[in-house]
Structure 1
Amino acid sequence: MTTLSIFDAHNPKAAPTVTHDSGEIGELLNSKGVRFERWPTQNLPADAAPEQILEAYRSEIAKLKSESGFQTADVVSLNPDNPQKEAFRNKFLDEHIHSEDEVRFFVRGLGIFYLHLGDQVFAVQCQENDLISVPQGTRHWFDMGPEPEFTCIRLFTNPEGWVADFTGEDISSRLPRFEELEGVTA
């Protein structure tokens, strides 16, 4: 279930405000400039090829490209049996920013985007059907968990794909990780 946990950035050990209501999550995120939507599920096999996934969501992708000037779309997928899963997880765990919006649509599985917005950190556990667009320049990080299992469509304006500028801040190490927040979502 999609879950939003809002932490005090200055006191990350304090209990967060939590909601599971996707309408409320959308309103809260949209009020901060973060696009959040729920798209209808397409009937795809669990082992669908990236081309099949992109074709199934062709109209939604075309709409986003038209609205926001995205040039490319691809599919990223990670499973617990990937021998490099720890390295992939660690790559995204430190706070960073991008010079373009970071857009992800979850076709399957889940992951948590942490958005450092002023004095708060919004931890958004995204799951199948969730679209999130983190605006350029927004401090954030992503946790796929120790046993990642997800497939996402990614959109980019930069043909080079994912390029991050790390902030050097340690806030991501002070907030609960994926495995700790799983209990919040139950």
Structure 2
Amino acid sequence: MTTLRIYREQQPDQPKVVTDDPSDIQRLLEEQGVRFEQWPTRDLPADASQDAILEAYADEVARLTDECGFQTADVVSLSADNPNKDAARRKFLDEHTHSEDEVRFFVRGQGLFYLHFGDRVYAILCQQNDLISVPDGTRHWFDMGPEPEFTCIRLFSNPDGWVASFTGEDIASRLPRYESMLGAAG
């Protein structure tokens, strides 16, 4: 279930707000300039190709591309049996920013985005059918967990794709990781 937790930076062990209501999540994220939507499910096989996934969601991708001026779209998948899963997880676990919006639509699986606004961190567990658009310049990080299972459509304004500027801050190490969040959610 999609869940949002809001932490105060000084109290990283106790979330101030916890909600799994999609309208609350959308409202709270929108207040920070973050787009959150839920798209309809498409019946796709687990091993669907990038082309098949992009074709299935062509209308939604076209709408966002027209509205936001995206240049490219691709699909990224990661499974627990991937031998590079630990390195992939580490790549995204430190706080960073981008010079473009980071847009992800979860075709399957889940992942945890942390968004850092002032003295608060919004931790949103995104799942199948969730779209999140993290505005450019927003300090954030992503945790896919130790046994990742997800497929996402990514949209980019920059044809070079994912380019991060790391902040050097240690805040990501002070908040609960994916494993703790799922334990609390379960």
**TM-score range normalised by the length of the shorter chain:** over 0.9
Structure 2 residue 70 is matched with structure 1 residue 67: no
Once residues 183 and 19 of structure 1 are traced to their aligned partners in structure 2, the CA distance between those partners, rounded to angstroms, is 16
1:174 corresponding residue in structure 2: 174
Structure 2 residue 106 is matched with structure 1 residue 106: yes
Q: Is the 8 A contact 2:5 2:15 kept in 1?
A: no
Once residues 80 and 4 of structure 2 are traced to their aligned partners in structure 1, the CA distance between those partners, rounded to angstroms, is 24
When the two structures are superposed, what TM-score results if normalisation uses the length of structure 1?
Answer: 0.98
Structure 2: runs of 5 or more not aligned: none
Aligned 1:22-101 pairs, distance under 5 A? 22-101=22-101
Q: Which residue type is aligned with residue 74 of structure 1?
A: D
**Hey, which bits of structure 1, 4+ residues long, moved more than 3 A?**
none
Q: Which residue type is aligned with residue 7 of structure 2?
A: F
Q: Which residue type is aligned with residue 97 of structure 2?
A: I
Once residues 185 and 68 of structure 1 are traced to their aligned partners in structure 2, the CA distance between those partners, rounded to angstroms, is 33
Bigger mean CA deviation after superposition, 6-15 or 131-140: 6-15
SS of residue matched to 1:114: strand
Matched positions, count: 186
Q: Which residue type is aligned with residue 47 of structure 1?
A: D
Structure 1: runs of 5 or more not aligned: none
When the two structures are superposed, what TM-score results if normalisation uses the length of structure 2?
Answer: 0.98
1:162 corresponding residue in structure 2: 162
Bigger mean CA deviation after superposition, 172-181 or 14-23: 14-23
CA shift for structure 1 position 114 = 0.1
Once residues 15 and 62 of structure 1 are traced to their aligned partners in structure 2, the CA distance between those partners, rounded to angstroms, is 36
**1:94-114 CA-partner distances (Å, limit 9, x unpaired):** 000000000000000000000
Bigger mean CA deviation after superposition, 15-24 or 46-55: 15-24
CA shift for structure 1 position 18 = 0.8
